[in-house]
Structure 1
């Protein structure tokens, strides 16, 4: 008879390792079983993808294997369901094994494990055929949760050398496999390389095997567990009961997780960190919006308007040089922060002028508040570090918000509900965050000095802030900015905005962690040299090599931020933050003048000198490094004060900001996955082999009322059924334009390939191409412009219905520079003449029909024909063609979106050019007709105008 215990008889026992073994066997049976059944029954079907089949592709991906085909789908679902029970048990045993009374990490890891199990069931039982969106949501949630699960298990792993060795190997293999996995997926999806998906599939299967193997290592620790089943009321029958062993397992020695994450987790502390970061997000949202609001006025005045003076709103920290003002601001820091929210309220102002003034006042108060906050916290280094972390994470959060909203920040003054704005929610959260994060500072107004001696020059510290703020704003406030610096067209030879924008965001986070944990290295001249090399590579190189320089620079700038800001906070805020923002403003103007030189006094001096701007930026940061290097290190200061180098409160406070950072980075990865382009685009009328092409000058995506115009542009392009459209005045990747990229939203929403055209470092106002047809090759040109602004052009070759067709998108120089325009006409005419393929020119020519340079663009010199020589009422926009049948031409009014109409032409591939004779619409095939909705009064003030209705040709 089994021995009695006060809480019942032991009726069964089994070793804990069997939980791990059952989980491992069931999981492998699910995947491997489905693979064997699929290869046996549906081999040719499951190796086929959207581009290739057997023999180019000869091994199936995981998703194709476990997908919708019977019976492999059923085999997978059966075994994965059997895996769920052991899986929950495995997570529970791991929590029991690793829990400690003074750490919240085991509970967090266990909750992640449960979440992964539930999301696994989600993507298993909701296939992409059932609901593509939810399948992707569950899948990306599972993959993202794998990161904290793996990291948490490694951190909590008991002191077992064998288990730890295998965990490190499997985890390293898992994350190492992600790099070639992404590479070959892009080779398949973007470059359409035959066989790339097969190689991708091998890495995908490797991930599955390593993921399961990582959890299988728990069998080593669980072997020390014995799971006991007790009969509490004597309900069992028979004599088969076995006694449990009297020996009790010795309690696992508590493992030190790491200083940062040890201690009791406090939700109040975490909420404080979240509020601080959102406060930083609000600051960067207001600062990055100011330039866009200012830009509206010279844009519509076509020159200096006077409103440009509002860029000086950032110099408010100079007021802190007055002791009474400084005392007042610090004592009432919450009020100052709340007053800054006028910048988030500005979307309510109807007139552009009032919106600018409201946004400017918000930036004025916000710069004043943050400078005062840094200064007030200087006496307590851990509190100052927390504020700096919030400031930097606010920039990261702002960039991630723009990553999610196609480079627009949803709480900007140019956004509102009709164009995707989240202004009300953003404002409400900002009020709550500021009420929470501004409850107190280390100083109530008195000038409490920072610990240790104050060394280093305040002026140099201020110059360092100028370079730092300019680098953060100009290069890191949008994840696609530096990617577009290195973009050179098709075929793709470097990063693209999605998904590689997430790499920029990850680099920023890594840089901040480096600055927090290795401040000595962050302020070293060695690291500064690495940052300078990165800046030089970014400025002078293209493709992947140029982007590697961009990543190095992003890491350096974010790492330098804690060092430079904390050093500046030791001195008078007027000498550091006031001077810093003043010089930052000069840098902002300089980096606009490199392209706007034709419109500003003395502009030609800065013409095309982005290299000068980048050099000045790094020299300014170097000034800050020089000042910071003169200051004793934190360890030296602690010795100076006689305090130990150990602060549990500071350590715990830092951990909350790292939790926020981890969440933001996971969010960036999820956004990159969800936004990855499908590349399965089709033209509107393939039956007729029609190409509907348009040209539109979009005036930097700001409409007449200073609202961002992407949504309205999208609607007109979609309703006009454009297969190809050239966009001019489309480069918005500067501080003054908000570091935006309109083409991202249009391309993804309309389902089109996109070529951004010459990048921001090419000093043009921009030209872009959107196409329903694959872009086989594209070359960017800067046409001769000895006097005036640079004239950009794109020469792209499209695969239209199996026939190569060249499309040129071109913006010529200004009316004031006739010699520039003559040289440009000859250059472009030569390009068009040399192509043997059918061609379309979508252009902005600045000439009258049948006069002057028109005869260079049209005729023997170019080989091109005018879409409608009888249309005499043109000056800027022209559509030319050769080698295609032109069937229709229309001019569509702009409404209030921009200052230029949309011109559209219809062409047919593989038919002769035809004549200039007009034909009635009823003699044209339905697929070649223009939409009816724009006749008469049209819709939303868009209508056919000039000749009132479309023209059709025989």
Structure 2
């Protein structure tokens, strides 16, 4: 008997648009359902934040709504679980719709879609209360994956004007909303503005609605599809099934962006590009470490040491002027790059001298190798562009690494395992990267000319490179450098190192893309003029205005890199790169002399003239533009029959993938590093304040290791609530463009004021505080002859009482008139404040003599923390309006050349007497830690008195 069914007949079918409808409906129900239930049951609780409640804050944030409260949390979890089914179906159907033969992008986008779905479940079902770290990991992963998902869907969208229009609207609105979202979050978290969190909440809810709406647009394409269920083995007995047409889409013309990113994708190409970029990262890591290693020696010699000559090791490209040697280097460039890795292995050398020589040799070989590589690739523009992209992205990668590691590069020779270094891994990857990226060059040793005529002056091109390299190194090798140029203290009126350092990194990426895709604009006088205006604004203004100038300059510098280097490669590398690095070195020295004028020959000529250095930098870049203007425009990627070379286009896309990855990493780091601002002092029950002063010697210890971790340990163990740091400005090439205060503040949970910025020409003063900094003013005290004396005058909120804290570094012993004028200036400043005050200082005077009597007594209104301590010369702690209960001196170990002085105070109590009392009469919360008694710990111990002193 024949069966009553037919194999393969359809038993169910529905239109694909219902997947979009279901996903949109259930997702909105999850969020809006939780909002309705939360407002109805717990309105006052969910609008309350750490600073304000109703009526200042009157609308809840997303996180507060879907958080830990029952039953709104359960409502959200239920519906978000129901959303997962349509979500997976939506991702799968989009892949089916957009897949093409030999196209990898649809698979990548589908993978990102699945990843987003899983991470959404992660932050939904692991709340911040359950596990704060994993909740943040899932959340940031979801947010980071949103960018490639959005861009991938836009790139793959079939030609449908309506769908494309709405996708652009929702995507543009989504990313545009991030700017005010971050702004109002900072207004709430940093400035504590009432009502700011409510405004932030509206933007946060907008992100949710726009995110879901973007995916809802798929109903337009899905309406052309039908989902069918077929019985292929006769397991059903239904009848009357309708015939269903196959889902057929009209063949659409591929967009150019889709061709670039999807056609002929190759993981081999990605690995080649990654190896190339890592090679660039290694170059910038070694170059930025050279000045830091050189600086160690004049720092300890307190003047010219002779080792400064190694700054000149970058001029090795002059050797390429010898034809036979140039042929040898180009032919064996792999060996040159491998030899340069001595700079990566320098951390193995125990003595600072050997470490410096290893780094110097590495930089010598690296400059030689990269210059030879650029010259060798000049005959093939697309290969040369790849090398330039790798070189520029290497700088971005180095800056991202420093952003992640609190302004230290983990592969620097001043890093090792004990202070967070990744040297061994960095070296291993460098070897692999060089072996991969130096397999061959275009010329293989021959002087193959660049296509087309070569015009312009090689000398002017070299000067252009000098300005370019100096700008990249001095301003862009750390994301916080220009932010600290415009920093003027509290209240915050400009960018912060975190999160706005990511803005600098994004601007770097945008500039590089501009230089690659619009070379005619990048080489123009118009963009040069815009960049010059940005440099002038950065140099002369502060706060947000100055930072906007910094971002403008950043875009210009990175845009100029491809055209400057490509033009220089057309000429003799000895003239362009050799001269470029020589003039770059002179700029580096000038950029140090503006602050080190008291220690170098002819220094007073450059005193406080950062403006001269910036002007010279831009004039040199102008020389490069002048040389470029004589060179006929030519595409950086050859074309065939008027269309882009597919192979060259794919190669460019690999570097753009890496750029996108670096920018996403920078964004994630900014999110993860954003401070909590929920800091508490060590002993609030006694209203105790432990204050300390320490001269940190630029965060290089006696053995030339970066000392942040060791400093962190002793500050934490000494339980310092407020600490002044001197010799703390490291934002120069010679000091590695670092900021020690970032690591200390984040790890110790403290507010930070960096003090006068790098463009103020001081050696630096900084303030770390467990108490909120209400206001701070930076001062440059009178210094007609010697080095500038920086000071911070900060008002802290200590247990509801405003207390002024001064951090001050006086001038040198050789300049007595400077120190006299400074003592009168500071005494007047301290006398004028009616609030209780603490001075944490470096005074260069003996107790009871000379300027001491200006700082202490009627002229200032300040008291010495211990008048009986006669054995002082530099560091002093003074106070007024507080009860001083204890004083201690702690040995420095090998971290620096100066001890730590610390004092304990109690707020809202009278000053007390100078009478000593035994420790047994002091409440436990007002005692210094016993850890430092006797031999102490790690070389830190109470010394001079061999124990703390306590006062009645």
TM range, normalised to the smaller chain? over 0.9
Quick check: 1:825–1:857 contact (8 Å CA) kept in 2?
yes
Distance 1:932 1:712 in 2: 19
| 3-state SS of paired residue (1:364) | helix
- Between stretches 935-944 and 262-271, larger displacement belongs to 262-271
1:72-151 → structure 2 map (5 Å cutoff): 72-151=72-151
Give the superposition deviation at 1:254.
Answer: 4.4
Local SS of the residue matching 1:553: helix
Q: 1:813 Cα shift?
A: 0.2
- 2:515 aligned partner: 515
Q: Partner of 1:661 in structure 2? A: 659
Contact 1:9 1:230 in 2 (8 A): yes
The residue aligned with 2:242 is 243
Show CA shifts across 1:434-483 (max 9, x none). 00000000011110000001100000000000000000000000000000
Q: Deviations over 1:487-540 (max 9, x none)?
A: 000000000000000000000000000000000000000000000000000000
1:144 deviation in Å? Answer: 1.0
Q: For residue 180 of structure 1, what is the aligned residue in structure 2?
A: 180
Question: Which portions of structure 1, spanning 4 or more consecutive aligned residues, are displaced by more than 4 angstroms?
Answer: 2-7, 635-639, 642-645
Length-normalised TM-score, structure 2 = 0.99
Q: Distance in 1 between matches of 2:895 and 2:859?
A: 36
Instruction: Write out per-residue CA displacement over residues 104-125 of structure 1, whole angstroms, 9 at most, x where no aligned residue.
Output: 2211111111111111011001
Query: Which residue of structure 1 aligns with residue 529 of structure 2?
Result: 529
Give the 3 Å change call, closer, same or farther, for CA 320–4 of structure 1 in structure 2.
farther
Deviation at 1:238, TM superposition (A): 3.5
In structure 2, the partner of 1:8 is 8
Match of 1:311 in 2: 311
Pair 1:827 & 2:825 matched:
yes
Map 1:881-900 → 2, pairs under 5 A: 881-900=879-898
- Asked if residue 223 in structure 1 is aligned to residue 223 in structure 2, the reply is yes
In structure 2, C-alpha distance between the alignment counterparts of 1:630 and 1:84, rounded to whole Å: 60
SS of residue in 2 equivalent to 1:42:
helix
State the aligned residue count: 950
Between the aligned partners of 2:160 and 2:638, the Cα distance in structure 1 is: 37
Partner of 2:214: 214
Residues 1:482 and 2:482 aligned together: yes
On the 8 A contact 1:304/1:599 being kept in 2, the answer is: yes
Which residue of the partner structure matches residue 501 of structure 2? Answer: 501
Cα contact 2:749–2:770 (8 A) shared by 1: yes
Deviation at 1:102, TM superposition (A): 4.2
Task: Report the alpha carbon displacement of residue 887 of structure 1 after superposing the two structures with TM.
Answer: 0.3
Match of residue 652 from structure 1: 650
Give the Å deviation of 1:630.
Answer: 1.0
**Residue 730 of structure 2, aligned match among 729, 732, 735:** 732
How many angstroms apart in 2 are the aligned matches of 1:340 and 1:528? Answer: 34
Residue matched to 1:755: 753
Contact 1:690 1:907 in 2 (8 A): yes
Q: More deviation in 815-824 or 47-56?
A: 47-56
Alignment match, 2:907? 909
Q: TM-score, normalised by structure 1?
A: 0.98
SS of residue matched to 2:597: helix
Aligned residue for 1:221, secondary structure, equals helix
Aligned to 1:447: 447
1:178: how far off?
0.8
Kept after mapping to 2: 8 A contact 1:935/1:949: yes
Equivalent residue for 1:354? 354
Mark the CA change 1:661 to 1:7 in structure 2 (over 3 Å): closer, same or farther: farther
CA–CA distance in 1 between the matches of 2:77 and 2:635?
Answer: 57
In structure 2, do the counterparts of structure 1 residues 248 and 435 end up closer, same or farther at CA, with 3 Å as the change threshold? Answer: closer
Deviation of residue 215 (structure 1)?
A: 0.4
Alpha-carbon shift at residue 802 of structure 1 (Å) = 0.1
Alignment RMSD: 1.4
Q: 1:228 to 1:782 in 2, by over 3 A?
A: same
Whole-Å Cα distance in 2 between the matches of residues 316 and 823 of structure 1? Answer: 48
| Match in the other structure for 2:62 | 62
Listed as ranges, the matches of 1:429-828 within 5 Å are 429-635=429-635, 644=642, 646-828=644-826
Asked if structure 2 preserves the Cα contact closer than 8 Å seen for 1:103 and 1:261, the reply is no
Q: How far does residue 255 in structure 1 lie from its aligned partner after superposition? A: 2.6
Which residue in 2 is equivalent to 1:842? 840
1:920 paired residue number = 918
CA displacement at 1:52 relative to structure 2: 1.0
Offset of 1:345 from its aligned partner? Answer: 0.1
Residues 402, 478 of structure 1: 8 Å contact kept: yes
Query: In the aligned structure 2, how far is the partner of 1:587 from the partner of 1:431?
Result: 32
Helix, strand or coil: the match of 2:345? helix
- Whether contact under 8 Å (1:100, 1:254) holds in the other structure is no
1:373 aligns with 2:373: yes
CA distance in 1, matches of 2:785, 2:151: 58
SS class of match (1:905): strand
Please state if 1:937 is matched with 2:941.
no
Cα distance in 1 for partners of 2:638, 2:372 equals 24
Distance 2:837 2:151 in 1: 55
Deviates most, 744-753 or 193-202: 193-202
3-state SS of paired residue (1:588)? helix
Q: What is the match of residue 861 of structure 2?
A: 863
| Contact 2:379-2:442 at 8 Å conserved across structures | yes
Q: 2:410 maps to what in 1?
A: 410
| Alpha-carbon contact 1:228-1:244 (below 8 Å) kept | no
User: Given the alignment of the two structures, is residue 345 of structure 1 paired with residue 345 of structure 2, yes or no?
Assistant: yes
CA distance in 2 between partners of 1:470 and 1:789 (Å): 25
SS at match of 2:54: coil
After TM superposition, the structure 1 = structure 2 runs for residues 289-304 of structure 1, keeping only pairs within 5 Å, are 289-304=289-304
**1-structure distance, mates of 2:242, 2:253:** 30
Kindly provide the CA deviation profile for residues 317-366 of structure 1, in whole angstroms up to 9, marking residues without a partner as x: 00000001101101101000000000000000000000000010000000
Give the aligned partner of residue 335 of structure 1. Answer: 335
* 3-state SS, counterpart of residue 813 of structure 1: coil
Distance 1:84-1:818 versus aligned 2 partners, 3 A rule: same
Q: CA deviation at 1:645?
A: 5.3
Shift of residue 636, structure 1, vs aligned partner:
11
Listed as ranges, the gaps of 5+ residues in structure 1 are none
Alignment partners' CA distance in 1, 2:3 and 2:408 = 71
User: How far does residue 549 in structure 1 lie from its aligned partner after superposition?
Assistant: 0.2
CA distance in 2, matches of 1:630, 1:255: 38
> Residues 547 and 4 (structure 1 numbering): CA distance in 2 closer, same or farther, change over 3 Å?
farther
- Alignment partners' CA distance in 2, 1:125 and 1:348: 46
Cα offsets for 1:193-248 (capped at 9, x unmatched): 11110110011011101100110010011000010100111111343x41223465
Of 832-841 and 158-167, more deviation after overlay is shown by 158-167
- SS in structure 2 opposite 1:705? coil
Write out aligned runs for 1:34-53 (5 A): 34-53=34-53
Aligned to 1:394: 394
| Secondary structure class of the residue paired with 2:860 | coil
For the residues of structure 1 that align with 2:417 and 2:249, how far apart are their CA atoms? 62
Paired residues of 1:806 and 1:838 also in contact (CA < 8 A): yes
**Is residue 691–residue 906 contact of structure 1 (8 Å, CA) maintained in 2?**
yes
In 1, distance between residues paired with 2:247 and 2:915? 98
Greater shift, 165-174 or 565-574, is seen at 165-174
- Partners of 2:485 and 2:171 in 1: how far apart? 34
Are the counterparts in 2 of residues 13 and 244 from structure 1 also a CA contact under 8 Å? no
CA distance 1:134–1:816, shift in 2 (3 Å): same
Deviation string for 1:592-637 (max 9, x for gaps)?
A: 0000000000000000000000000000001111111211111499
Query: Are 1:283 and 2:299 counterparts?
Result: no
Deviation at 1:251, TM superposition (A): 4.0
Question: Shift of residue 256 of structure 1?
Answer: 2.3
- Name 1:167's counterpart in structure 2: 167
In 2, distance between residues paired with 1:5 and 1:172?
Answer: 52
Which structure 2 residue ranges, 5 or more long, are not aligned? Answer: none
Shift of residue 638 of structure 1? 6.5
